[in-house]
Amino acid sequence: MMGLLMCLGCVLLDFMMVHSHVLMQGRIVGGHTAAPNSIKYIVSLQSTKGQHFCGGSLVHRYWVLTAAHCNIGAEHMMIVAGDYIVNTFEGTEQYAKPHRVVTHPLYNRSTNNADIMLIKLRAPMVLNKYVSLAPLPRQGTGVVEGLVCRVSGWGYNNLGGGQAPFTLRTVTVPIVSTARCNSSMSFNGNITANMICAGYRTGGKDACKGDSGGPLVCGGRVYGVVSWGNGCGDAKFPGVYTAVSKFRRWIDQTIYRSYLRCTKY
Ligand SMILES: *[C@@H]1O[C@H](CO)[C@@H](O)[C@H](O)[C@H]1NC(C)=O
Ligand SMILES: *[C@@H]1O[C@H](CO)[C@@H](O)[C@H](O)[C@H]1NC(C)=O
Ligand SMILES: *[C@@H]1O[C@H](CO)[C@@H](O)[C@H](O)[C@H]1NC(C)=O
């Protein structure tokens, strides 16, 4: 009985943490460097050798939201929060190893559908001046065409690679309607209901390789996870993001379930 009560207590506390986020304002092609530690929920996914390869968002002290295609195996990853210039120690970083990764059961690597993943950390991140939780949209809430959102990351500046900039970069992009994004003029039927598109008709501003898994923030909430595209900043092809609001229930259930079982993973 005592155990059950304690279990419920931890469930409620941790569940509430998911909902009581502080509202934050929030690779980017055509963008600029972000102000230091201005996007406090963004995390860098790094190899155990310290090489940045994807972005993510801290959604709970123990959980990171990212893209399923960023899964290189829990044992090969290190999560870094509170970072600004990757590969440079600034004293604000917190490091945590994943305990396990949960990719969405519907994730399909050939269609990129349901490109979403949660990473449970071995130790919780400490929330402070440099690290906070990302506010998420409610289940099923949409974003209207033209709404200007912000995508941030440490990825490449342009396609064709080159050197990844070490400082966090950010750019604003407007939401593109699914109809236009899925049309024969663009992705020609490859856009599912679990995706949202964002970019300018003129191109030039976009997320790119290395930004994968990072947040697309609209009205202070993480509506998108950087997923895929066709080139970067191409006028014909906007960036494609996993629609987080389609997975809010799955996110909450995955986090909640791990505490409900009251077991240590
Ligand atoms: C992925 O999607 C393709 C195209 O719809 C389908 O043929 C394939 O079976 C799917 N793969 C998985 C693992 O679901
Ligand atoms: C759409 O997907 C098909 C099959 O995966 C692919 O051959 C085609 O190039 C894609 N088209 C665009 C515009 O992305
Ligand atoms: C995109 O187009 C394809 C092919 O016409 C269609 O099957 C799919 O449902 C469309 N996606 C959305 C989100 O409407």
C-alpha–C-alpha distance, residues 26 and 44, integer Å:
16
If you take atom 10 of ligand 3, which residue's CA is the nearest one? 189
| Structural element, H or E, at residue 10 | helix 2-19
Annotated active-site residue 212? The verdict is yes
Atom of ligand 3 nearest to the CA of 190: 1
CA of 104 to the centre of ligand 1 (A): 14
What was the pLDDT predicted at 29? Answer: 77
Nearest Cα residue to 150 out of 247, 42, 253 = 42
pLDDT tens track of the chain, all 265 residues?
333 333 333 333 333 233 222 221 224 777 788 988 999 999 999 999 888 999 999 999 999 999 999 999 999 999 999 999 998 899 999 999 999 999 999 999 999 999 999 999 999 999 999 999 999 999 999 999 999 999 999 986 544 445 555 899 999 999 999 999 999 999 999 999 999 999 988 888 888 878 999 999 999 999 999 999 998 888 899 999 999 999 999 999 999 887 776 555 4
Pocket test for ligand 1, best of 108, 115, 190 (most atoms within 8 A of CB): 108
Tell me the C-alpha distance between 210 and 45, whole Å.
Answer: 10
Decide: 33 in ligand 2 pocket, CB within 6 A. no
pTM reported for the whole predicted model = 0.86
User: What pLDDT score does 195 carry?
Assistant: 98
At 57-84, the pLDDT tens digits run 999 999 999 999 999 999 999 999 999 9
* 89 Cβ neighbours under 8 A, 6+ residues apart: none
Burial of 180 (0-12, 13-18, 19+ CB in 10 A): middle
Neighbours of 78 (CB within 10 A): 16
**According to the model, what pLDDT value does residue 5 have?**
35
CA distances from 71 to 75, 109, 137, 181 (A): 10, 11, 23, 26
Q: Please report which helix (H) or strand (E) contains residue 252, including its range.
A: helix 248-260
Atom of ligand 2 nearest to the CA of 188: 13
Q: pLDDT value at position 15? A: 31
Distances in Å between the Cα of 185 and the Cα atoms of 129, 182, 192 are 45, 8, 16
Contact 236, 193 (CB under 8 A): no
From CA 27, how far away is CA 20, in angstroms rounded? 29
Nearest to 227 by CA among 186, 204, 255, 197: 197
What is d(CA 105, CA 93) in angstroms, rounded to the nearest whole number? 32
The whole-angstrom separation of Cα 51 and Cα 196 is: 28
- CA Rg value for the chain: 18
Sheet holding 98-103, edge to edge: 94-96, 77-81, 42-47, 52-60, 63-66, 117-121, 98-103
